[in-house]
Amino acid sequence: MRRFFKRVASLFGAVRAENELEREIESHLGILQDNFEKSGLSPAKAKLAARRSYGNVESVKELHRETRSYMWVENLVRDVGYGWRSLSHTPGFTCVAAIALALGIGANTAIFGVVNAVILQPLAYRDSDRLVTILHNGTGPVATANYMDWRDQSHAFETMGAADYWSPNISGDDRSDSRPAEHLFGLKVTQNMLPMLGVQPLLGRLFVKGEDREGSKHEVVLSYALWQRRFNGDRNVLGKLIRLDGGAYSVIGVMPRGFKFAPFWATHTELWAPATLEATVHERGGNHLRVFARLKPGITLAQARADMAAVTGRLEKQYPATNRNVVVRPLKENVVGNVETPLLMMLGAVGFVLLIACANVAHLMLARTSGRQREIAVRAALGAGKVRLMAQFLTESLLLAAIGAGAGVLLAFAGIKALVSLAPADVPRVELVTIDAHVLLFLICATGLTAVAFGLAPAMQAAAGNFSETVKEGGRGNSSGKRRSRLRGFLVASEFALAFTLLIGAGLMVRSFYALQSVKTGFNPHNVSTMVVSVAGTNEAEPGRRRIFYQALLERLKAVPGVKAAGGINHLPIAGDLWDRNLEIGGRPRPRPGEAPNAVYRIVMPGYFEAMQLPIMKGRAITYGDGATAPAVVMINQRAAERFWPGENPIGKRLQLLGGGEGSRPNWLTVIGVTANARLDDMVSPPYPEIYVAALQTPEFMGEGTGDIGVHMTYLTLVVRSNQNPANLVPQIRHVVESFDRALPISQVLTMDEAVGLATAQPRFEMWLLASFGALATILAAVGIYGVMNYAVSQRTREIGIRISLGAGRSEILQMVMSQGMKQAAAGILAGVAAAMLLSRLMVKMLFGVQPNDPFTFLGVSTILVLTAAAAIAIPARKAIRIEPVIALRTE
Amino acid sequence: MGPQHSYAIAARLQQVSEDLLYLNQGTLYPALVRLEQQGRIKGTWSKTESNRDAKFYALTKAGEKTLKQEALRWRRIAGLVERLLSEGA
């Protein structure tokens, strides 16, 4: 080994070697000169004579240099050539090994590609690591007055901006435009919001100071996608007037392709307009703004947090029950926070698969090395040192890994395509996933490490062999001894340990997913189609007309053949937005600020409960009788009944909505019915109190209110139950809507089954990914144990033959082989249990309804692996008991 | 014979071989470098009698062992070849 380092050192110490050479020549010339002087020449003549007799100094140097440097280059070239020849002599081995490696490397590269784009790459804003969000509990919206105080009183931020959800309808930009109206997703932003991000517009400009004041002209910035889709990429779009919700907006800019804001909420945003905050400037209750800020240069996150804590602490004293739990968080954390753990886990899982593939190739190589002992012995006898032999074997491994990597890249391309198209829609930045320089670097490193991982053991074995013995023995190859079979046993056991750990991960995801599937939605999601009809900017938005339109629309829908029930709601359960309201319960003291009971706020048109088949547990549903002039009514869910009137009959009790904005008058609602608990916005959160008010009794919903809240109530989600495939009904529902007005945009067409599917898309994706890794791992482990046992049996043919001829029964032979193999598998599984107990804890956040050390999963996975191992060992075991002693003894 | 510098080695070879073997410096150096890389000889810088800087090479333990083996091998081969040739003659 020391010599090896010396040679490596000589590679890098070329300068020193050159000096050494100079010195040596100098000394030689000196000695020659001395000799000539001794023979009587004058010093000057002696020097000349020495020169002459020495010959060409430069050519000597050249020769010397070659000796110094040729070794490693020549060795490398020779090793690569040799490795290539030896690999191509055994195409079967090469193919199997390359496929295993390609699967491992390809899968790793694909997953790393996703991790790289989604987690590692910075957000596409200038100095994006300086951007933070300032939100309640990290993600919750903020009231206008609080935002303004934060902005004015904090010192840690260069700028602080805010954004508000906005979903306008765009209609034809002039009368001759016949394109259908479209429901868009946008944001209203403070003037400084877009400039804060540091992205220049592709065309035009961003908002300037003053454009977010009330009364200023309406202006809008478009996304690249909207510009292309709606305006065909026309550069003359700047200055053009477009109609949004009936108002005229002039286009002042277009953002570049790929620009996205906001990155973690309202991610479908396609246009931005200035937010005018004057109307809500004194509001500390209605939380609707998302606050973003850029840290001042030199300010750390901790300093910013301290600054905000001081500001909010002061404000909380001033305005009790406000400014609580305000969290300053890096923007990126909000973007990738939800997917970070699962993605890194997938990377770990796929790393396990690669390790198993390495172990497999390693013992393929070991078996091959044993077969090549004669060759190795001859090479050693011819003067190849141990290091040279190791280098040669490692070069061969590297070559093999490179072949695997070549195929792996192709697999990775296909894999990334598949991952991107199969990934649940809410994985952020998934559109950015590509194979870039980082991914290629990862691939190269993975390949090198892989080669060392599977090539080191065979290389060391090749170098360690007792060659003269081998040559004498005629290469019978059974001098391998215990050490080698122990190494194989260890490799097989590790494969089983890794496969076990992976399968536990997969098993837990499967259990968790089935637990999710069996969660009751509370309603019957089958055969229900839903879609959002937006009236904003159309004639139907007018007070009075809207009321009539909604009722007439539902009546017409009920008349469509196949429709069993039709209703409407503001936001769908599971798939829709969640609004909550603070309440006052009748007969109790008025709640102090911050202590009011809270419930999810739903506004329904009659027929909703019928269409959803959401059971009414007590009382009755809202009907058309509960109109504008009738007594105001409300329905609540069971959770609300338990929370607000524990142990009492809630029917006939009264409650009042608080915080309806300025101008909302006291309005007591009487509870008329109790519904079952429906899922809120996902499948895992526990039930929460919900109240359902009658749309017909909610003036804001009908465009007749005075409060600010009505601006956000310009749409109705239709819920239609039919007796057939709900997708078939969609064209007819569209047709009915269009028969009222072609300008009415329809969006978010979804069946409730699809909505439930979307809510479980991420766990389903994770389950499939882990399950396929687990299956791959199991197959590789089975192939591994089969290979090792098969080899063991062929090595012991003679011994088994002797045993049989000495009277050993077939069952004893069978038992012997099986127990040898099963011991290795069992050792692996035991190690796997320990590893899985530790690692499965990391999954807690991804699991639902199952504990990370779920005994059923552990038991089931153990059973699967034991059976797999038994099946794989049975094949060589059968071979063993069929050995004919006479033949076995004769062949050797 | 103790450690020798390369000129002395060449001179000695020439002397022992009775001028049949004359090693050009260009041939000798690379051989010495290679032997040193292989750990069979070890060179140290020192002074000659006439106070010149020169690198003195000495056999290492491994070198001695190799030398013995190689000498043995050579004698065997040479003897074998000799026998074969004399048989054939």
Q: Is the pLDDT of residue A321 over 80?
A: no
Q: Is the pLDDT of residue A577 over 50?
A: yes
Are A838 and A722 in a shared domain?
no
Q: Is the pLDDT of residue A591 over 90?
A: no
For residue A657, the SS3 value is strand
User: Between residues 18 and 47 of chain A, which touch chain B (CB distance below 8 Å)?
Assistant: 21, 23-28, 30-32, 34
User: Does A102 reside within a domain?
Assistant: no
Mean pLDDT of all residues in A247-256? 92
Out of A23, A24, A31, whose CB is closest to B48? A31
Q: Which residues contact A97 (CB under 8 A, 6 or more apart)?
A: A360, A361, A364, A365, A400, A404
What is residue A736's predicted lDDT score, i.e. its pLDDT? 93
pLDDT digits (tens, 9 = 90+) for A126-180: 999 999 999 988 888 888 899 999 999 999 999 999 999 888 888 765 555 566 7
What is residue A461's predicted lDDT score, i.e. its pLDDT? 76
Q: For chain B, how are helix, strand and coil distributed in percent, rounded to 5?
A: 60, 20, 25
Which CA distances in Å does A776 have to A273, A364, A503, A662?
51, 18, 10, 62
A32 with B34: Cβ contact below 8 A: no
Tokens of A388: 């040279």
d(CA A379, CA A531): 77
Are A156 and A197 in a shared domain?
yes
The DSSP H or E segment spanning A6 is: helix A2-12
Are A731 and A636 in a shared domain?
yes
* A337/A295: higher pLDDT: A295
Are A158 and A295 in a shared domain?
yes
Residue A660 banded pLDDT, cuts 50, 70, 90: low
What is residue A882's predicted lDDT score, i.e. its pLDDT? 84
What is residue A295's predicted lDDT score, i.e. its pLDDT? 95
User: Does A120 reside within a domain?
Assistant: no
Residue A473 banded pLDDT, cuts 50, 70, 90: very low
Question: Does the CB of A9 have a partner CB in chain B at under 8 Å?
Answer: no
Out of A32, A55, A64, whose CB is closest to B7? A32
Share of chain A above pLDDT 90, in %: 37
Contacts of A68 in chain B (CB under 8 A): 33
Are A54 and A196 in a shared domain?
no
CA nearest to A719, candidates A513, A534, A573, A888: A573
What is residue A366's predicted lDDT score, i.e. its pLDDT? 82
pLDDT digits (tens, 9 = 90+) for B22-73: 777 667 887 888 888 888 898 888 888 778 888 889 989 988 998 999 899 8
Architecture category of domain B4-88 in CATH = Orthogonal Bundle (1.10)
Residue A9 banded pLDDT, cuts 50, 70, 90: low
Question: Does the CB of A6 have a partner CB in chain B at under 8 Å?
Answer: yes
Residue A7 banded pLDDT, cuts 50, 70, 90: low
* A386/A267: higher pLDDT: A267
B29 with A55: Cβ contact below 8 A: no
d(CA A735, CA A560): 11
Indicate the number of domains in chain A: 4
Are A315 and A411 in a shared domain?
no
Range with the largest mean pLDDT of A77-81, A566-570, A739-743: A566-570
Residue A496 banded pLDDT, cuts 50, 70, 90: very high
Are A364 and A270 in a shared domain?
no
B5 with A31: Cβ contact below 8 A: yes
Give the amino acid at A242: I
Are A309 and A345 in a shared domain?
no
Mean pLDDT of all residues in A371-397? 78
User: Does A611 reside within a domain?
Assistant: yes
Contacts of B33 in chain A (CB under 8 A): 64, 67-68
User: Does A734 reside within a domain?
Assistant: yes
User: Does A358 reside within a domain?
Assistant: yes
> DSSP per residue over A793-838, as a string?
HHHTHHHHHHHHHTT--HHHHHHHHHHHHHHHHHHHHHHHHHHHHH
Domain ranges in chain B are: 4-88
Tokens of A383: 């003067």
CA–chain centroid gap for A259, Å, is 21
Q: Is the pLDDT of residue A678 over 80?
A: yes
The DSSP H or E segment spanning A169 is: strand A169-171
User: Does A249 reside within a domain?
Assistant: yes
Q: Is the pLDDT of residue A476 over 70?
A: no
Q: Which residues contact A502 (CB under 8 A, 6 or more apart)?
A: A349, A352, A353, A770, A773, A774, A777
Predicted complex: ipTM over 0.85: no
For residue A215, the SS3 value is coil
d(CA A506, CA B54): 71
Q: What is the domain range of residue A803? A: 339-518+761-891
What is residue A618's predicted lDDT score, i.e. its pLDDT? 93
B30 with A55: Cβ contact below 8 A: no
Last residue of a domain, one of A23, A56, A74: A74
Inter-chain contacts counted by CB atoms under 8 A, chains A and B: 66
Last residue of a domain, one of A49, A74, A99: A74
pLDDT digits (tens, 9 = 90+) for A748-763: 899 999 888 888 888 8
Are A733 and A775 in a shared domain?
no
d(CA A705, CA A12): 82
Are A611 and A735 in a shared domain?
yes
User: Does A46 reside within a domain?
Assistant: yes
pLDDT digits (tens, 9 = 90+) for A343-382: 888 899 999 999 999 988 888 888 777 777 777 777 777 7
User: Does A418 reside within a domain?
Assistant: yes
Residue B88 banded pLDDT, cuts 50, 70, 90: low
Are A318 and A360 in a shared domain?
no
What is residue A177's predicted lDDT score, i.e. its pLDDT? 57
CA nearest to A596, candidates A647, A642, A655: A655
Mutate to test the interface with B, among A8, A67, A386, A387 (most CBs of B within 10 A): A67
Are A441 and A543 in a shared domain?
no
d(CA A180, CA A155): 48
* Other residues' Cβ atoms within 10 Å of the Cβ of residue A397: 27
- Asked whether the beta carbons of A428 and A335 are under 8 A apart, the reply is yes
d(CA A778, CA A782): 6
